[in-house]
Structure 1
Amino acid sequence: MNKVTMSGNDGLWARIRAALGRPDAHVPAYGQAAIAQNPNKKPRHAQRIDDELRRGWTYCAERNVSLCVMTLEFDLYAAYFAAYGRESVEQALGALEGTVTPLLPRDSYRCLRHGRAGFVLVMPDMPALMARELASRIAAAIRQLGLVNRESHAGQVTMSTGIAVTNPQGKFERVVLEQANDAVKKAQRRGIARLEVVDLRGRDEKRRKAA
């Protein structure tokens, strides 16, 4: 039986490997920081969202149509994570993604992972009213899915929704995503399975006239 040294750097990493159940796990040498090879590179999910947002912005600006961004966030995520663990969270998110995706009205729309426990939908040429109706259908489908969550008074997993709509013009801006993120946080402050909508089109027009 291998003896584990209980002092010094080698002993520290041996104990960490043993705790992780990965005796051959690679660990950094003493004094080396465990950093990404390219610290400026965005996480994969964030990059996909950024790419979709840029494409959507360009498409809408060229055609003078609206761009809707919808964010969906797992309600009571921290409590669910503490009670059920990461594996259950990932399984739930997989089931939720599989529920949302078939409801998207166009093949070009994608349900993209966003943050720790959410999704974002970038929807070019989507009227605000239709986005509201889509949010309602998604909420109903999630209720029907019925994933158990004992940490919620609803007894099941729910998601809150934020929608932001804008008329893209000129240089690409991320404000529509930022506003959708703010909207879903506001919705969650009001409860669970809530919807908050932000229409930026009036603000955009006033800002352009002022400029």
Structure 2
Amino acid sequence: MNKVTMSGNDGLWARIRAALGRGAGAQEPPYGQAAIARNPNKKSRLAQRIDEELRRSWQHAAQRNVSLCVIALEMDGYADYFAAYGREAVEDSLDRLEEVIAGLLPRETDRCLRSGRSGFMLVLPDMPALMARDLASRIAAAVRLQGLANRESHAGQVTLSTGIAVVNPAGALDRSVIEAAGEAVKKAQRRGLARLEVVDLRGRQQRQRKAA
């Protein structure tokens, strides 16, 4: 895929921000805030499901002395897409993407979990980094095949950026792997559309153990 970039000033939402005097620093449309106001417990429930999945997967990987990968996927240009198409269309697209991602997971026990307003989280024990990269590539290809129109994107369709964090679980549960995957997908989105960023935490773990 050709390298592309997306300006935060493009699209319908940029014009709405200007009209409302919110400025270029606005991060999301008011519709997203309203959705959370209608269901204030949704965010905490999503976080709890991710935490439970991480706890289960961490124990599984630690017992078998294998790596664990967390894959964070985030819809690119969510704010512009939401403003142009509305909440119902966005939710329909996210439901479709969730089905696509879930269908590509290698094991029946793997889960595609919603994360925030416009993302997904995969917590995959016994998943080497190279296999996680391959899975991310296959997900990106499957999303392109869906051809979900997005006139506010330079790609012309809905795309997902991906952040991968890999760790070797040992000892107490360390939730920083979730945070690392989230930061990785943000970094990927700063580089453009449908990008991938990988962070390997295993070197940091080794340094921490030597220091201890």
Using the size of structure 2 for normalisation, the TM-score is 0.80
The whole-number CA distance in structure 1 between the counterparts of 2:100 and 2:168 is 29
The aligned length equals 175
Q: What does residue range 67-82 of structure 1 map to in structure 2 within 5 Å?
A: 67-82=68-83
RCO greater where, 1 or 2, for CA within 8 Å and sep 6 or more? Answer: 2
Residue 197 of structure 1: how far off its partner (Å)? 0.3
Unaligned runs of 5+ in 1: 1-33
Q: Is the aligned partner of 1:47 residue 2:14?
A: no
The corresponding residue for 2:84 is 83
Instruction: Could you list the structure 1 runs, at least 4 aligned residues long, displaced by more than 2 angstroms after superposition.
Output: none
Using the size of structure 1 for normalisation, the TM-score is 0.80
**CA deviations over 1:124-175 (Å, ceiling 9, x no partner):** 0001000000000000000000000000011000000000000011111101
Unaligned runs of 5+ in 2: 1-37
The whole-number CA distance in structure 1 between the counterparts of 2:150 and 2:205 is 40
The corresponding residue for 2:205 is 204
The whole-number CA distance in structure 1 between the counterparts of 2:122 and 2:111 is 6
Q: What does residue range 23-172 of structure 1 map to in structure 2 within 5 Å?
A: 43-172=44-173
The corresponding residue for 2:33 is none
The whole-number CA distance in structure 2 between the counterparts of 1:163 and 1:150 is 28
Residue 64 of structure 1: how far off its partner (Å)? 0.9
The whole-number CA distance in structure 1 between the counterparts of 2:43 and 2:146 is 32
Cα RMSD, aligned residues only: 1.7
* Amino acid paired to 1:158: T
Residue 35 of structure 1: how far off its partner (Å)? 11
Distance 1:145 1:50, change over 3 A: same
What SS does the corresponding residue of 1:196 show, helix, strand or coil? strand
Distance 1:157 1:52, change over 3 A: same
Percent identity, please: 69
The whole-number CA distance in structure 2 between the counterparts of 1:206 and 1:65 is 18
What SS does the corresponding residue of 2:199 show, helix, strand or coil? strand
